[in-house]
Amino acid sequence: MNKPLPEFGVQDLEVVQRTPGYRGFFAIDKVLLKHRLYAGGWSPLFTRELFLRDPAAGVLLYDPDRDQLVMVEQFRIGALPDAESQGTSPWMLEVVAGIMAPDENAADLSRREAKEEAGCDIQDLVHITDYYNSPGGSNERISLYCGRVDASDAGGIHGLEEENEDIRALVLSFEEAWFALQEGRMNNAMAIIAMQWLYINRDSLRQKWRSQGPCVA
């Protein structure tokens, strides 16, 4: 099967000017550029604002012995406008996730965040995919995993006080988590992608991990 490769690459665009804009916890650059067109020739110069974020990783915590998931719930500022206008909740049901430190890789970040946000030790990691979260305006790239955990003692309140984190860890059966997705309670991209991957791979993943013996606490 032929892979659907992009027709163009980085050699088919020209960045004329890149101007730093806002600098805070996040950053924004203004980019003046042009690129080749599918119909031939080049586009006129145009401007795009680029929202800059460091690489991130997320991990769906799964206990194959109990067929349970450990998920987290926390306040998210991005959901505030809809909460104010539509009366929805800005507390979101998510997978464990975080932003990589300069000397950290995605797998190490996943293990660290699992401990910080859910109190779980990951026994094994399976890579799901890497993807851009919103490439129309942001460079944020996410590495997504599924991690084997023992959910028997999971739960409680977690998070780093110095980062104003207030995170509730929840233990859900697979059926409860899948119902939350179908009902729109789980409405963020990272959790949806991870859950759909688990839906497809659940049986083979359970067989693989359970054949390795129980989790070691």
Residue 163 a catalytic site member:
yes
Q: Please, are residues 57 and 125 in contact by the beta-carbon 8 Å criterion? A: no
Say yes or no to pLDDT of 124 above 80: yes
Query: Domain spans of the chain?
Result: 12-52, 56-211
As given in the structure block, the two tokens for residue 207 are 């067989």
Task: Give pLDDT, residue 160.
Answer: 86
- Overall average pLDDT of the 52-70 stretch: 97
As given in the structure block, the two tokens for residue 151 are 């959910």
* 162: three-class secondary structure by DSSP: helix
Task: Give pLDDT, residue 21.
Answer: 92
pLDDT digits (tens, 9 = 90+) for 85-116: 999 999 999 999 999 998 999 999 999 999 99
Q: Which fold has domain 56-211?
A: Nucleoside Triphosphate Pyrophosphohydrolase (3.90.79)
- Overall average pLDDT of the 30-36 stretch: 97
Q: The pTM is what?
A: 0.92
CA–CA distance, 26 with 8 (Å, rounded to integer): 29
Task: Give pLDDT, residue 214.
Answer: 82
Residue with tokens 């996943």: 110
Options 7, 161, 162, 163, the catalytic residue: 163
3-state secondary structure 68-121: EEEEEEEECHHHHHHHHHHCCCCEEEECEEEECCCCCCHHHHHHHHHHHHHCCC
pLDDT digits (tens, 9 = 90+) for 145-173: 999 999 999 999 998 888 888 999 999 99
